[in-house]
Each structure stands twice: as C-alpha cells, then as structure tokens.
Amino acid sequence: MRFEFLELPGETSALLRPVVPVQVEDLEDAPQLCLVDTGATANRFGMWLAEATGIDLSGAPESSLVVGGVTTTARHTRVDLTVAGVRYDAPVTFCDPWPFAFNLLGQEGFLRFFRLTVCAAESWLELEAEG
Amino acid sequence: MVQFTISGHDFELDQDRVEHAVDRLLPDPVREHYVVVSGRRYPPKQVISCATGLDRADFTTHQARRVLKRLGFQAARVTHEQDPSEASAGGPHGGRQAAALAPFVDKWVALASPTDVIVAADTPQEVLGWLARHNRRASYGMFRVPASLHEAEGLAPQ
C-alpha cells in the first residue's frame, strides 16, 4: 500500500515526511498520524492513547527516554496496531510527556513487520506486510 | 444588545452572553451553515438553542443566522472549493493546514481532511466522546495542536 509523504500537523514549512496512519487497538474513529523513523528502535506513542483505549499499564516496565529533545517517562507494553489494513500485536512504548502531534514508528513493532520502500524523490513510501 | 422574538418568546442577547453560553460547548458537525463564535464554527441553531434554551425544532437556521449576524457574529456557508493560489503553494497543504490549526493551539483536534477541523476540545477524551456521539471519524488524525515549531517537528534533523 502506498502512502504519500505529508507535512506534520502544524508544520509551517513545506517539508514533507514519511507518515503512515495507524489504528491503535479498536480506536477506529481516530487513526494516528505516525512518522516512520528508521533510526528509532521502537514505536513511541503518546500516553493519552493508552488511557483512551483502556490499555492497562500497571506493572508495565518503565524507563526514562529522550525523544525529539524531550525527556519523557516511557511505559513498555504490547498492543494491537492496524497498519495498511494489517492488524498485529506490536510492542509499543507509551510516553508522558509527549508534546508532539505525531507518534513514531520504529524497528521493533513496525519495521520488523513490514517491508518498506521509500522514494523521497517522489515523496511516497510503500508498505508490504512481511510473510 | 439585540432584542428578537422566536417561536413566540422574546429574548435579549449580546455577544458576551452568547460566547459565555457556548464557552464549554463542543460544536456539532457543520453541514451547510455555520457561525463563528470564539474562533469556533457552530451550526447556528446549536448556538441559539444553547443561548435561549429553545428546542431546535422551534426555529429555523435562517432565523438563527439572522439573529447571530445582528449580534455581530460571522455567518457563512461551508464551501469545498479550493483557492487556486493556495493549491499552487509549496507542499501538499501549502501551509493551509498550519493556518487552519492556528486558532486551536494547545487544543485537541480531530481532522476529517488536512484543513477540516471537525472538533476541538481541551482533552482527548472530550474529542473521542464527541466523535462517538456524532458517529464521525477523524480520517486525518487526532492530536494536540503543537504550541511551537519544536512540538510540531521535534528535534529531528532538517
């Protein structure tokens, strides 16, 4: 499935980014705009998503991370994500604070599940689920 | 202060009272007509109903628009036409999304398209509740509008 590059929400420049809409658990009404970050080791989402979807983070491992220049408390768990029509069980880190209007898709939890073709020259990316 | 009669009832309203009445009210979906109150687009009948306590079935959109325009609010009709000058600007949204989001900085919004903010609220729970109540989908995402360029882009290399 092909996705055109987009501006991040609120960005005033005309810079286009590789982003993919992701459904978290059964939150069909509000797909999440996620930046594909090949340098990220894992998926990083805002903590509000865990609260909105009723994900129980009690007992979840916790650590401190710096993401995009922000020091944040991260809780690690597994959730169902739906990307490009494929629903799968993925490791996700929920972070608080999370001031960004986008979430991050990284290696564990995204790139291990999809074969990614990026054409920045034409501003698109394609995803194919790994067999 | 504007005096008017709707459905046999006399009312007196001014801008402040209308703005106060809808202060915590999330706008219903706008189908055709809307009025801008405190930077948000509401269906005119929703505003008049909230400000007067009248049932929406007791008056028409035309009556509501007329009263609100007399009170000094901007009333308009939804258009899906695109300004050709905007379409030719850089990027797929040409900065139009940033402009559409500007009134909602630090609010949670749901977007039906890159520039169509269908609801804005203080918390994600309010936005999700509104989407569920109105059977709407934030096809273009739901997020808190960044308050700064840093929040919009992070500190990723440019």
All domains of chain A in start order, with CATH: 18-129 (2.40.70.10)
pLDDT band at B93; cut points 50, 70, 90: low
B35 inside domain:
yes
Instruction: State whether B30 and B65 are in the same domain.
Output: yes
Segment A40-72, tens digit of pLDDT: 999 999 999 999 899 999 999 999 998 888 899
Do B12 and B41 reside in the same domain of the chain? yes
Shortest CA distance to B56 belongs to which of B40, B39, B74, B43?
B43
Domain assignment present for B7:
yes
Contacts of B146 in chain A (CB under 8 A): 9-10, 99-101
CB distance from B118 to chain A under 8 Å?
no
The model's pTM is 0.73
Q: How many domains does chain B have?
A: 2
Q: A102-124 pLDDT, tens per residue?
A: 999 999 999 999 999 999 999 99
Kindly list the residues of chain A whose beta carbon comes within 8 Å of any beta carbon in chain B: 4-16, 21, 27-33, 37, 48, 51-52, 67-70, 99-102
- B40, containing H or E segment: strand B40-42
CB pairs under 8 A between A and B: 107
Q: Are residues B57 and B113 in the same domain?
A: no
Alpha-carbon gap, residue A91 to A75, rounded angstroms? 11
Complex ipTM: 0.81
Shared domain check, B109 and B67: no
Query: Does A48 sit within 8 Å of B141, measured CB to CB?
Result: no
Question: Residue B76: in which H helix or E strand, if any?
Answer: strand B74-77
B144 contacts in chain A (CB < 8 Å): 99, 101
Please name the residue of chain A whose CA is at the shortest distance from the CA of residue B113: A9
Report the distance separating Cα A67 and Cα A98, nearest Å. 9
What are the E-state strand segments in chain A? Answer: 2-4, 19-24, 32-36, 43-46, 62-67, 70-83, 86-96, 103-105, 114-119, 124-129
Q: Are residues B11 and B48 in the same domain?
A: yes
Q: Range of B52's domain? A: 2-77
A46 to A13, A34, A93, B24, B127: CA distances (angstroms): 24, 11, 8, 25, 16
- Asked if the model's pLDDT at residue B83 lies above 50, the reply is no
Strand partners, A115: A128
Closest CA to B117 of B68, B126, B127: B127
Residue B88 belongs to a domain: no
Looking at the structure, tell me whether residues B60 and B111 fall in a common domain.
no
The answer as to whether B86 is a domain residue is no
Boundary residue ending a domain (B34, B49, B77)? B77
